[in-house]
Amino acid sequence: MGRGLFPLKGIGDLPDSLKLQVHDLEVEVLTGVYSEETHLPQPLRISVTVDIDMPERFEPDTPLKASKNYMDVKHAATDGLPKDVHFTLVEAVAEHICDTLFVGDARVQRVEVRIVKLAIAEQGESIGITLVRGRK
């Protein structure tokens, strides 16, 4: 109960935030450094969290344009990735996703992209990167 009858001590100093999340998308992407990786798309699990500016309050009739469509976030991590480009590093895949989201909406202030390389897991472990970019 951060607001209302019982405000929490110190909570009023924290900024309000809105994080849109699209997690665990499985996407085939041309990526890799080693010769056995470079000729075929690699399966990646991509999760994206986007911090956006938000209105003072969301009312029951607040229109979608006051937030961001989740499908825009999903698109940046799926169909928004070029099929004919080889990304040597998965970090470059994450950069492309960030760039797409920043260019597409001025309200996007921060993007976090987590990429797990599914093909190199041997016992179900998650091996990959997390890249975080703020709007510059």
Whether 69 contacts 52, CB under 8 Å: no
Beta bridge partner(s), residue 45: 26, 116
Ordered DSSP codes for 70-109: HHHHHHHHTTTS-TT--BSSHHHHHHHHHHHHHHH-TTEE
Domain 18-134, second-level architecture: 2-Layer Sandwich (3.30)
What number of residues does the chain have?
136
**Residues 11-56: tens digit of each pLDDT:** 566 788 899 999 999 999 999 887 676 778 999 999 999 999 988 8
Greater pLDDT, 134 or 68: 134
Q: Tell me: pLDDT of 60 over 60.
A: yes
- The pLDDT assigned to 1 comes to 44
Please report, for the chain, the start and end positions of each structural domain, with discontinuous segments joined by +.
Answer: 18-134
